[in-house]
Structure 1
Amino acid sequence: MTAVSTVAIAGSGVAGLAAAIQLAKAGVEVEVFEAEPELSERGSGISLQGNALRVFDALGVWEQAQAAGFAFEGLTLRAPGPGAPVVAELPDVKTGGPDYPAGMGMPRAALAGILLTHAQSVGVRVRFGARVTGADATATAVAVAVNDEPAGRFDLLIGADGLHSTVRRLIGITTEPQPTGMGIWRAFVSRPTEVVRSELYYGGPMYIAGYTPTGEDSMYAFLVGTAQDRFSVSDRHAAQLMSEESQAYHGPWESIRADLAAGAHVNYTWFTQHIVAEPWNRGRVVVIGDAAHSCPPTIAQGAAQGLEDAAVLAELLIDRDAVDQQLWDAFHARRLPRARAVVEASVQLGQWQIDGDREADAGGLIFGIAQQMAQPA
């Protein structure tokens, strides 16, 4: 017997669909409400560490994800300037254990499609253009409103609706993402054959320049600098600005700039950070993933943490027979310290760069977090 028989989920991102898949596989009736009119085909790439890949395997999508992405081991550090000299080749901790690669890059749209298709195949109902606008909870159920109309009563509502979560606001949680002072350009471009793992450049005019392979013919490139108001520039101007700000970086960046000139799509966002203090639930409504916590991608653990939230919550709902305080205590004990460690370390790494702190032990911090993530959530 499961603790729930019907669950509503706000948001069709990785956390929402992961929770939906696991619950539906256990016989729970799951309905996902997504505010956007359709699954987005835009976006760049995503970096996934081994602990995220371990969750994919539990979901039943590891083979599809592996085929759609680009697995790699290790990290290359380069310096700016002519020739883009390699400074170091670093090993990665296998946070998913020996059965999975240390890391993998994927196109975001490919990952979204894989999760959606699998969710529907196990019986999840997904409604697009459906924004959760109300959540009236009692001790035993939640009456959910969608687009300001009644959508049914459920045993639980999971808010996996992202950084600017409506569900978070509906249940009275006032924590909001805060800018960290950094902004990032991202572009989806072709992969030069010599790029076989993530590579980062430190120094020069930007805090970080880098790229991650996402497939045989693709990768995503990024530049991290001081946060600026770049949100209203045209696509063409955005590509021009990213190209100009990458001039100090060479090697594969020559190919990246050629793709930018040819019209590669570019997006710009600010880094944010937040973590909702315990509890993440208010009765039978709970937030997970980016709705509960966000951080700069300096450790590439954002998606992994959302996937772990979903996996742990689903496990507890499946293995227990009541949605009670014991369930929520177990959930928070397993998720809050782990997510907080990732958020705080990710923010600290960025702050050291903003401060120009050359004495900071960035490598030690990254290794320490990786060792924590190597332990199952």
Structure 2
Amino acid sequence: MPAVGNVLVVGCGTAGSALAILLARGGVAVDIAEIKPELTTLGSGITLQGNALRVLRDLGVWEKVSASGFAFDSLGLRAPDGSLLAEIPDARTGGPDLPATVGMNRPELAAILADEVRAAGARIMLGTTVNALEDAGDAVRAHLSDGTAAAYDLVVGADGIRSKVRGLLGIEVAPEPTGMGIWRIHTRRPKQVERTDLIYGGPCYIAGYCPTGPDTMYAYLVEKARPRASVAEADKPAHMRALAEGYGGAWDEIRQDITDPDRINYTWFESLLVDRPWNRGRTVLIGDAAHACPPTLAQGAAQCLEDAAVLAELLLAADELDTRLFEEFMDRRHARVKAVVEASLQLADWQLNPVPDADVPGLMGRVTAMVAKRP
């Protein structure tokens, strides 16, 4: 018998959906409280490294992800004029039978996971969140925003970087800006774009793009963080085009399509790491509610998926929910996540404050070797 009979998951994002699928398939009754009235996802595209694909395969959705996304096995480095400086084979961290990387449209991934959540038998409560939690020792009574309350063996806060559950637990950790901001647009894929190519230098710290399908891609420009409201909505295309003027090659074609402010997203790079343990009694945090980092290693989604996979494995294998289970969860997750967060921040800091002898290949190689192993 699993260690839990019923679970409330707060948040139906990547981590919450993956956990709900695995637990529901294992015979656990799962409710998901999702604050949004519809299962829509903001953002343009997402980069999924091999260790993320490994979990998605375990979830049984790899074929759908493969059909929806764009797989590639190398990384390109280019000069600001678009000329190729280096083509680097990318490590297949999910194993030799999976590609190194898949780029895909973020809402398509969300839809695939939501369909699988429902197929597994979990219940999604849209437009609902948790207002209060009462831990009685053998159960948690969750008071929801729709006025109802119910007792659960476990509550999981998978509600993102600005987690309400984290606040309800009294964990006073807030996301910290790194000093960088990123402009993203989901747009038409030029024929020559067949992988992620990165440019370091020019008017931005980083200019890059990632194909997400046969005809689509997302492109991004990373600059010094500015106040989020400093560029009016209608002016976003002009601002992004001005930044893109400093780049050639595929950017000549990308720049022509930067016209619709509704397709442009701007956000800051932020980081967050909750010290162990991530639980208080029978409520535990996973995913961005517990850890988040700038996308310099493209490991955000992968680490969220790994949280879900490890927690589900432990809950389904144990006979009871006790301190030992949460300790094992931390033993398998905290050091690994901390290493990813710290490495991501180090890469960002080397962009902000250049160091002549910065060992970027060495740092990335150590992280790659670590995530290639199952947590």
Give deviations 1:152-193, integer Å, cap 9, x for gaps: 111000000001000000011111110011110010011111
Do 2:15 and 2:304's aligned partners in 1 also have CA atoms closer than 8 Å? Answer: yes
SS class of match (1:193): coil
SS class of match (2:171): coil
Partner of 2:356: 358
Partner of 1:154: 152
Do 2:221 and 2:244's aligned partners in 1 also have CA atoms closer than 8 Å? Answer: yes
Do 2:237 and 2:260's aligned partners in 1 also have CA atoms closer than 8 Å? Answer: no
Do 2:73 and 2:91's aligned partners in 1 also have CA atoms closer than 8 Å? Answer: no
In 2, Cα distance between equivalents of 1:218 and 1:10: 32
Q: Residue 205 of structure 1: CA displacement? A: 1.5
Give deviations 1:51-110, integer Å, cap 9, x for gaps: 0000001111111111110011010000103xx111100111111011110000010000
In 2, Cα distance between equivalents of 1:194 and 1:134: 52
Q: Decide which moves more: 234-243 or 63-72.
A: 234-243
Equivalent position amino acid for 1:311 in 2: A
Do 1:197 and 1:212's aligned partners in 2 also have CA atoms closer than 8 Å? Answer: yes
Matches within 5 A, 1:285-364: 285-364=283-362
In 1, Cα distance between equivalents of 2:15 and 2:27: 19
In 2, Cα distance between equivalents of 1:252 and 1:230: 27
> Is there any run of 5+ residues in structure 1 with no aligned partner, and where?
none
> Is there any run of 5+ residues in structure 2 with no aligned partner, and where?
none
Q: Residue 42 of structure 1: CA displacement? A: 4.0
In 2, Cα distance between equivalents of 1:24 and 1:17: 10
Partner of 1:93: 91
In 1, Cα distance between equivalents of 2:291 and 2:171: 12
Question: Structure 1 residues 232, 225: closer, same or farther in 2, change over 3 A?
Answer: closer
Give deviations 1:295-332, integer Å, cap 9, x for gaps: 00000000100000000000000000111011011100
Equivalent position amino acid for 2:34 in 1: E
**2:223 aligned to which of 203, 225, 248:** 225
Matches within 5 A, 1:40-51: 40=40, 42-51=42-51
Partner of 1:14: 14
Equivalent position amino acid for 2:226 in 1: Q
In 2, Cα distance between equivalents of 1:21 and 1:179: 32
SS class of match (2:328): helix
Partner of 2:203: 205
Q: Residue 233 of structure 1: CA displacement? A: 3.6
**1:245 aligned to which of 243, 246, 249:** 243
In 2, Cα distance between equivalents of 1:248 and 1:41: 31
In 1, Cα distance between equivalents of 2:149 and 2:302: 30
Partner of 1:26: 26
In 2, Cα distance between equivalents of 1:128 and 1:235: 28
In 2, Cα distance between equivalents of 1:293 and 1:42: 19
Give deviations 1:256-279, integer Å, cap 9, x for gaps: 111113666101100111110000
Partner of 1:192: 190
Partner of 2:178: 180
C-alpha RMSD of the superposition: 1.1
Q: Residue 232 of structure 1: CA displacement? A: 5.9
In 2, Cα distance between equivalents of 1:272 and 1:263: 23
SS class of match (2:296): coil
Partner of 2:38: 38
Q: Decide which moves more: 215-224 or 250-259.
A: 250-259
Give deviations 1:12-64, integer Å, cap 9, x for gaps: 10000000000000010000001111111542000000000000011111111
Question: Structure 1 residues 148, 172: closer, same or farther in 2, change over 3 A?
Answer: farther
Q: Decide which moves more: 70-79 or 139-148.
A: 139-148
In 1, Cα distance between equivalents of 2:45 and 2:229: 19
Q: Residue 148 of structure 1: CA displacement? A: 6.3
Give deviations 1:122-166, integer Å, cap 9, x for gaps: 101001110111111121111111116233111000000001000
SS class of match (1:195): coil
In 2, Cα distance between equivalents of 1:77 and 1:88: 5
Paired residues in the alignment total 375
In 1, Cα distance between equivalents of 2:149 and 2:185: 38
Do 2:179 and 2:225's aligned partners in 1 also have CA atoms closer than 8 Å? Answer: yes
